[in-house]
A and B are shown apart, each in its own frame.
Chain A
Amino acid sequence: MTQTIVIARYNPELDEKPHQETYQVQSDDNTSVLDALQQVQQQDPSFSFRWSCRMAICGSCGVMVNGVPKLGCQTFLRDYPVGLVITPLSNFAVEKDLIVNMEPFLEHLSAIKPWLINTAEGTQPHVQTPKQLAKYQQFANCINCGLCYSACPQFGLNPEFRGPAALALAHRYNLDSRDQGKAQRMPELNAKNGVWTCTFVGFCSEVCPKKVDPAAAINQGKVESAKDMIVSAFKPTGAR
C-alpha cells in the first residue's frame, strides 16, 4: 500500500532553515523507516541521510520519528498508521536534510577516556571472570548512535553536558576489572558538566536501542562521585 510520510529537508546552500516536504512511499508489514527513506532518495537523489548496516549495529540511521529518537532500520511503518514526521536528531546542528553534526557528541565521548587504562607491562592477556564481566557488560553494548543525546533535555539546554552515552561509557570502564583509569576519569564525572547535571529524566534509557540504560549508569556514577569526594576529603593534599 501507499503511505504518506513527511520529512524535514534542509539544503544549506539554498534554505534559510529546514522545512517539511511530503512523500508517498510503498509499504507493507516489513517496511522500515530506513526502507522508506531509501525510496524517497530514489524519487529525489538530492535527499541526504546516513545509514550503513540496516540491522541496528552501526548506529548510523538515527532520526526523530514523530518527535521520538529512533533507529530508522529498527522502526517500522506498520506501527504508525496515522503517519510519520521524520526529522533530524534533536539537540544537534543540521548539516543537510537528516544529517546532523555529531562532532560535539564525539568530543564528549573522547573526553572521558573510553578505553582500558592499564599500566601493567608485558603482553600477557588480562584475565577476567564471568562475574567481573557481568558488572559492566550491559553498559558496554552502546553503539554510539546518539539517540540518548536527542532524548536528553539537559543536553538540549546545555550542550557542554557530557551526556548519557559518554558518562555511561565512563562508568563501563570504571567498572572493568582490567582498568586502572578511574582516578583519571573521576574529575570529568565530578565536574560541573559531569554526572551531577543529570536530573534523571530517564528518556535516554527509554529510547536506547541496545537497552544500555545510560540513566542508571549516570546515577550510579553519582554514587561513585559522592564516594570519591568523601575519600578525597580525608586524603592528604597532593595525594591521588
Chain B
Amino acid sequence: MSSEHNGRRPYLPPFRRDWWLQLRFYRLYMLREATVLPLLFFVGCLIYGLYSLGQGPAQWQLWLDFMAQPWVFVLNLLTLAASLFHAKTFFELFPRVMPLAPPRLMIAGQWLGTVVVAIGLIVLLGGYL
C-alpha cells in the first residue's frame, strides 16, 4: 500500500534498548533470565573441584581452601538464592505449559520433589549413609 498518495505517514517509534527497565513485570522477567549468571560461577567451581579431585590430596585441599574464602561463599550463597528464585518462577509456569493436574497441586509436587532430592543428595554425599 503506497502511503505517499493518500496522506498516510505512519510513525513507528524505535524499539527502546531499555524496554526491560520500563515495567516491574519486565524487570522481574530479566531477573529470572539473569539467574543463570551466578549459576555459571557455581558450575565453574564444580568443574574446578572435579579437576582438583583427580589431581590428588594437595590440589583437593587447595580447592577446599578456595571454596572456604568469604567472597566465594557469598557468591555461592547468591547462586543458591538465584536458583531458588528461578525454581519458584519455573514451577509456577510449568502447570501452564503442561496442565496435567490442578496448578497448586503441581507446584506443591515440584517443591516436594526438590526437597526430597536435596535431602537425598545431602544424605548420600554427606557421608550419612
Task: Show the binding face of A for B, using Cβ within 8 Å.
Answer: 10, 12-13, 17-18, 67-68, 90-95, 101, 153, 156-157, 199-203, 206, 213, 215-216, 219-220, 222-223
Contact = CB atoms under 8 A, between A and B. Distances in A.
B97 A95 contact: no
B124 interface: no
A222 B11 contact: no
A219 B97 contact: yes
A218 B11 CA distance: 29
Contact of B26 (A12, A200, A201, A222): A201
B101 to A, nearest CB: 15
B28 to A, nearest CB: 10
A106 to B, nearest CB: 13
Given A93-B10, A216-B96, A216-B97, A68 B23 contact: yes
Contact of B97 (A12, A18, A157, A222): A222
8 contacts: A13-B9, A92-B12, A101-B10, A201-B26, A213-B96, A216-B99, A220-B98, A222-B97
Contacts of A93: 10-12
B15 to A, nearest CB: 5
A223 to B, nearest CB: 7
Interface in B8-33: 8-13, 15, 19-20, 22-23, 25-26, 29, 33
Interface of B: 7-13, 15, 19-20, 22-23, 25-26, 29, 33, 93, 96-99
A233 B96 CA distance: 27
A201 B29 contact: yes
Contact of A91 (B15, B20, B22, B29): B15
Given A153-B20, A153-B26, A10 B98 contact: no
Contacts of A220: 97-99
A156 B15 contact: yes
A25 B44 CA distance: 60
A203 B24 CA distance: 11
A90 B26 CA distance: 15
A157 B25 contact: no
Contacts of B20: 153
A215 B29 contact: no
A215 B10 contact: no
Nearest to B7: A13
Nearest to A93: B10
A162 to B, nearest CB: 18
A219 B15 contact: no
A223 B11 contact: no
